[in-house]
């Protein structure tokens, strides 16, 4: 696992070992950042269910203003902190050892980009979206990574599903604010 481009280009990132860990593949990560490539510069990014932090780190490497990493696992956040230090991107990062849903209920922060990659099949995205949309900027974008079988809602408050991309067993779902008619 590595940073694809930007200030930390090519740097290897650590990940936790074990069956519960499923890092985003380089192909899927490249697709995510292709979708938002013109929105990253100066953005406030949320890496919810952060895991190793690779998505938020990629965003910081590409010029995001700041990234907030949230994960309930202390072991995961130790890896996030190691990766941030290794890539020298820690000054623009906030790392929160909290349950993701609890964080969303308590935070006052507003985000331009939210990246959600929770454990598959547990309904965590469905549970997070209603609260998350309250913390998104006017033109924000939410990208969710799930198994290709998981179905997410077509709309959540002022956000609607705009596109789905499938890569083998993985699906990316992109939410953006509803278009005015």
pLDDT for res 140:
97
Which residues are paired to 146 by β-bridges?
171
pLDDT of 19 higher than 50? no
pLDDT for res 6:
85
pLDDT for res 18:
57
178 confidence band (pLDDT: 50, 70, 90): very high
Report field, pTM of the whole predicted structure over 0.85? yes
Q: What is the mean pLDDT of residues 97-118?
A: 96
- By the 10 Å C-beta count (0-12 exposed, 13-18 middle, 19+ buried), 57 is classed as buried
What's the chain's average pLDDT? 92
Contact 62, 89 (CB under 8 A): no
pLDDT for res 4:
85
Beta strands in the chain (DSSP E): 44-48, 66-71, 93-97, 111-116, 136-147, 155-156, 159-167, 170-177
pLDDT of 20 higher than 60? no
pLDDT for res 9:
85
User: For residues 99 and 7, what is the distance between their CA atoms, to the nearest angstrom?
Assistant: 30
Please report, for the chain, the start and end positions of each structural domain, with discontinuous segments joined by +: 26-177
* H-only helix segments in 26-176: 26-35, 54-61, 74-87, 100-106, 124-132
pLDDT for res 28:
86
Overall fold of domain 26-177: Rossmann fold (3.40.50)
Q: Could you read off the pLDDT of 85-101 as tens digits, one per residue?
A: 999 999 999 999 999 99
């Amino acid at each position: 696992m590595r940073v694809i481009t930007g200030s930390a280009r090519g740097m290897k990132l650590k990940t936790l070992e074990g069956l519960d860990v499923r890092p985003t593949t380089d192909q899927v990560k490249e697709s995510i950042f292709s979708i938002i490539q013109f929105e990253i510069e100066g953005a406030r990014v949320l890496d919810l269910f952060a895991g190793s932090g690779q998505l938020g780190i990629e965003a910081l490497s590409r010029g995001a203003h700041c990234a907030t990493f949230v994960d309930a696992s202390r072991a995961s956040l130790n890896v996030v902190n190691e990766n941030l230090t290794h890539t020298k991107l820690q000054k623009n990062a906030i790392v929160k050892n909290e349950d993701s849903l609890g964080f969303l209920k308590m935070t006052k922060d507003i985000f331009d980009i939210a990246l959600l990659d929770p454990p598959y099949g547990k309904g965590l995205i469905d549970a997070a979206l209603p609260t998350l949309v309250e913390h998104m900027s006017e033109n924000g974008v939410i990208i969710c990574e799930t198994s290709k079988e998981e179905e997410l809602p077509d709309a959540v408050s002022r956000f609607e599903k705009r596109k789905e991309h499938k890569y083998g067993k993985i699906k990316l779902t992109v939410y953006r604010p509803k278009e005015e008619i």
